[in-house]
Chains A and B, each alone.
Chain A
Amino acid sequence: EAQVTQNPRYLITVTGKKLTVTCSQNMNHEYMSWYRQDPGLGLRQIYYSMNVEVTDKGDVPEGYKVSRKEKRNFPLILESPSPNQTSLYFCASSFAGGELFFGEGSRLTVL
């Protein structure tokens, strides 16, 4: 089954404790992206990757890092999480931008 898989789905952590949200897709897509969803703000892009070893900032990259060492994986790293990073995070992929296929989301709470 074609899918985008994120882990963990739910996480509660404390300020400053590094965490990684993994994302994996099995559709051989070149393009992958991370979004955060906040009430009243819709989805905002954090980072995206056009292909392996190619990443770029989206609209709200501060406080996040990403890497794209393999085509299927695109982890999101929060080196020192803060409460304003409490949000619902979505990973998505596509062949060349445009129509995105989304994961189920990861709800992160930073205390």
Chain B
Amino acid sequence: AQSVTQLDSQVPVFEEAPVELRCNYSSSVSVYLFWYVQYPNQGLQLLLKYLSGSTLVKGINGFEAEFNKSQTSFHLRKPSVHISDTAEYFCAVFNTGTASKLTFGTGTRLQVTL
């Protein structure tokens, strides 16, 4: 069975500082990887995805993530955050073998302050 671990439940950061949100997954087969963002009182929207090819993936709002197969990680980064980036971020893994569901991590709350 696949699983996703987001080690940090909350990450406080000052505006314009860099940030990294960590995500590790476990799966015995090929996977697709996703980061979703949830702004307050809204649904989830896709930030970026890794399906194949280049391990460095760029998404919306200046975010990027790097797929590291040997470390089974898919950390999300942004070089300079803005107040508007305050949200909950979810990492998710899709098992291409069973193709039945997207498994989510427990989420990381990014809090950006002045």
- List A residues at the B interface (Cβ < 8 Å): 33, 35, 40-45, 48, 50, 56, 58, 90, 96-100, 102-105
Contacts and interface: CB of A to CB of B under 8 A. Distances in A.
Interface residues of B, number: 23
A79 to B, nearest CB: 23
A48 B100 contact: yes
Contact of B100 (A90, A97, A102, A105): A97
Interface in B62-114: 90, 94, 99-107
Contacts of B99: 96-98
Contacts of A102: 36, 43-45
Q: Which 4 A-B pairs have the closest CB atoms?
A: A42-B106, A102-B43, A43-B104, A102-B44
A103 B45 CA distance: 9
Contacts of A100: 44, 102
Contact of B104 (A42, A56, A103): A42
B25 interface: no
Given A90-B44, A98-B32, A40 B106 contact: yes
Contacts of B9: 40
B73 to A, nearest CB: 18
A13 B19 CA distance: 41
A39 to B, nearest CB: 9
Nearest to B42: A104
B106 A98 contact: no
B98 to A, nearest CB: 9
Given A99-B32, A102-B45, 9 more contacts: A40-B106, A58-B101, A97-B94, A97-B100, A98-B94, A98-B102, A100-B44, A103-B43, A105-B43
A102 B101 CA distance: 14
B43 A42 contact: no
Contacts of A35: 104
Contacts of B94: 97-98
Contacts of B32: 98-99
